[in-house]
Amino acid sequence: MKFVDKRASIKAIEYGTLDVSDNMQPFLDSLYQMVSDLKVPGRKAKEYNQKFVRTMFFEKTETVTFDGHTYEVSANARFETYNSKVALVDVFNMLDKDNMDL
């Protein structure tokens, strides 16, 4: 229940969310711990850090500008970040206590 309880501590996220500004790190830490405990195949991350997860929710564009420099965002990067966002939102929504039979 610890992981499910962490979900309640953050604002709801959905596919259309454009930014995640509240502190999701306790939820992400708990999610990472659960994935590690379950030995989910294919996991490569050493942690789920909010500063990286947050970028999944930014508007998808072909270029981004930081500090006056414009960088191209590959189609593969846009595709993978979208898939990761969908997976995270699906896990988040699956853990809604109102939808669970406990």
Specify whether the CB–CB gap between 53 and 25 falls below 8 A.
Answer: no
All structural domains of the chain with their residue ranges: 2-99
**Tell me: the pLDDT tens digits for 27-72?**
899 888 888 888 888 777 788 899 888 888 888 888 888 788 888 9
Whole-number Cα distances in Å, 17 to 11, 21, 76: 11, 11, 21
pTM: predicted TM-score of the whole model, two decimal places: 0.77
